[in-house]
Amino acid sequence: MDKELLAPAGDIEAGYAAIHYGADAVYLGLQKFSARATATNFGEQALNEFVAYAHAKGRKVFVALNTLLQEKELPDLLKALNTCVNCQVDALIVQDLGVARVVREQYPELELHASTQMAVHNKEGALALQKAGFSRVVLARELTLAEIKEIASIPELETEAFIHGALCYSYSGLCLFSSMESGRSANRGKCLYPCRSCFKGEDGEKHYFSMKDMALEAEVLQMPVTSLKIEGRKKSALYVAAVTDYYRQILDGKGADATRAEHIKQIFSRPWCKFHIKGKDKAVVDRNFVGHRGLEIGKINKIQGRIITFKTNHLISKHDGIQIDVSGQDKPFGFSLKNLRVGGKSVFEAKAGSVVEVSLPPQTPQLQKDWTVYLASSSQVKGAYDYSHPKSGEYKRRFPLSVSVRVAPDKICAEANGKKACVEGRFEVAVDYSKVEPAIEKSFSKTGDTVWKLQKIDIVNPDKLFVPVSMLNDLRRQLFDMLHAEEKFGDLPIVSTCVHSKEPRWIVKVDNAAILANIDLQSVDEIIFALSLDSDLKALRKLPKNKLRLALPAVCRKNKMAAFVSLVQELVAQGYRKWEIANYWGLDVLPDAGIDLSFDSSIYTMNTQAVAMAKDLGASRITIPLEDGLQNMHYLAQNSSLPTVMVLYQDVPLFTSAVCLRSNDCQNCPRGEKWLTLKKGQTTYQALSKDCHIMLFSEMPLCLAAEAQDVRPDYYRVDFCYKPYLAQQAADIFEKVRSFEDVANSIKANVYRNKDF
């Protein structure tokens, strides 16, 4: 089976470059609801032209509508979906369950792809989303080749895997770091990348979470997926051209060309890694530097005043960009080559093997011998990737239009698609009527930037009257304006509102039954117990079964899945019927019938359509997302089709990662649970290392007790998971929160932020 090479396009030029250099498909975002909100993205006209061009070349176009939507944004979603239908895009990449439901119910012609933001990391999660109507899943980047092969074996399900580009430290979709810190949500396309910051940890001040770039290169030939995806919707057309060309050569059997790889590194590249494709790899973080590095071309061997000397292993030219790693600085020091000398003579370029002298700019930091020199921008490479693209307006999808024009002595009218426009005037008999009808037809053939193409025109002019061209053009503009204004959008699928509780009901969630020792369980309506493979089942059985709900974790990799499935089956057989899931894989593991199923906050339901989709999937209630705003929380609590849970107190996992933070190598790892402290400025974080995963927490918990009565959900939840709580400490917090009082030194996340997070 031929693999699809899928390239990114942050704008139309990048799209044209991708197609020119061999992409089989291109993915892009619209002006709204794109997980790369700061990319240029596509307006309706650009999308129309690009899709028409791509289809003419036999290529596909996927639109990423892959952010979470609040209720107030659903009308704009309909406009976006209508645009996608009109432009005949080939598929939508979706994270929000509400978007999926609207597409499934109202736009069935649009194919659904499950975004990597849905954190599909096992076969069970992929199967669940296939049943939900997704024809393709975009896999989590963290997977090994063995895990990818297992998911790719699912019959009639397409799979898509990233092969090149930037990496997140967290599983995509399971990161609230930017949102909790700054109100800029990764789930809404506005991440500020706090993971790239410098933190003080056990190995000093480092960029502990700053990932290298993925570059699988020839490894892609071993991947059994449908589609091989290049990351980079915020990258230039030049970058897209170079990376697409590189992987096109590999897929066409021409090998991983070293020169092409060098070109990519000169355009934009952090250090490359294979991530976890071959198994766990700790060397995937660049702790010392962030950002673009470039192609390594030598090391400083002499420093004399403001001149450095080094032997270049690559052609360099005047005006190229140079960068040097400077100890103690976050980013390499960069400058343009204003002067270049070889053998004491000024030259425009120096060949590989030359010993070059380079003049440094003013305010150069203190440099040292043997520091690495990089070629970060090459004039030669900038001119190496020309690409063809059509003239503006040459390609466009247009809809056939039949127009009827009637001319009377006092007015002229035009009708199309049930709309009628008229222009009044005094019209005389034409001197040469043979020119009148061609003039009318010519005027209405000028459809300009509209989506229409004149297919047929009927002209009724019994008195053979003359109409000035200016009046014909005015009539045409009026008619087309009316047609555009009356463009029909689909309707939102009907959502019924359930009967919501008027009295507060309380939930306590724990991962250790001992935490409950001092809490009066008579005051608790439900206990959620977070299961793990080392949970104390004897302690679990001492809890009141009628109040107990068992919770599955968000992440369960292939190596632990069989054990988890066995544990779930054992507990279901023992009569445990209340469950909570935090990822879609739980839908496949739990029985289809006889289960009271709650969705945790990491299965995001930020609008009523998403809640309705959760209900369609079998949920009996949902948990309001932790990063939502107060107004939207209140709306959901009063208008959703399922009961709602609001978390009032929690140590929020800022992210969940498969990248180890410990300094030791894997062979000498003591395993087990380990807490690490990190600081950024005055802010302290705590990282939990357990089962080869990392979870990061703020020192301060989220507490929304004071706002809870304004939201009025069906259930209030207080969590004591992850961090080690003493029984009396938990009891004191619970009683305070039950009185709708905030605990000291807590955060509020987005409830009062005015930003469109």
Domains assigned to the chain: 4-167+213-273 (3.20.20.70), 169-210+653-700 (no CATH), 295-382 (2.40.30.10), 407-485 (no CATH), 505-652+701-738 (3.20.20.70)
pLDDT reported for residue 726: 97
Average pLDDT (210-222) is 97
Does 360 have pLDDT greater than 80?
yes
28-87 pLDDT, tens digit each: 999 999 988 888 899 999 999 999 999 999 999 999 999 999 999 999 999 999 999 999
Alpha-carbon distance 757 to 750, whole Å?
Answer: 8
pLDDT reported for residue 330: 86
Alpha-carbon distance 148 to 144, whole Å?
Answer: 6
Look up tokens 């020091």; give the residue.
333
495-524 pLDDT, tens digit each: 999 998 888 899 999 999 999 999 999 999
Residue 386 tokens, joined: 């020309």
pLDDT band at 488 (very low <50, low <70, confident <90, very high): low
pLDDT reported for residue 665: 84
3 state DSSP class of 230: strand
pLDDT reported for residue 485: 65
171-188 pLDDT, tens digit each: 999 999 999 999 999 999
CB neighbourhood size of 133 (10 A): 16
Torsion over CA of 434, 435, 438 and 443, rounded to 10 degrees?
-150
pTM of the model: 0.93
Does 487 have pLDDT greater than 70?
no
pLDDT reported for residue 39: 84
> What's 364's DSSP letter?
P
The alpha carbon of 245 is separated from its chain's Cα centroid by a whole number of angstroms, namely 24
pLDDT reported for residue 590: 98
Average pLDDT (470-487) is 87
Average pLDDT (607-612) is 98
Q: What is the mean pLDDT of the chain?
A: 95
Question: DSSP characters for 588-604?
Answer: HHS-SSS-EEEE-TTS-
Does 349 have pLDDT greater than 80?
yes
Residues 6+ apart with CB under 8 A from 156: 130
pLDDT reported for residue 1: 63
Torsion over CA of 636, 637, 640 and 642, rounded to 10 degrees?
140
**By percentage, how much of the chain surpasses pLDDT 70?**
99
404-429 pLDDT, tens digit each: 999 999 999 999 999 999 999 999 99
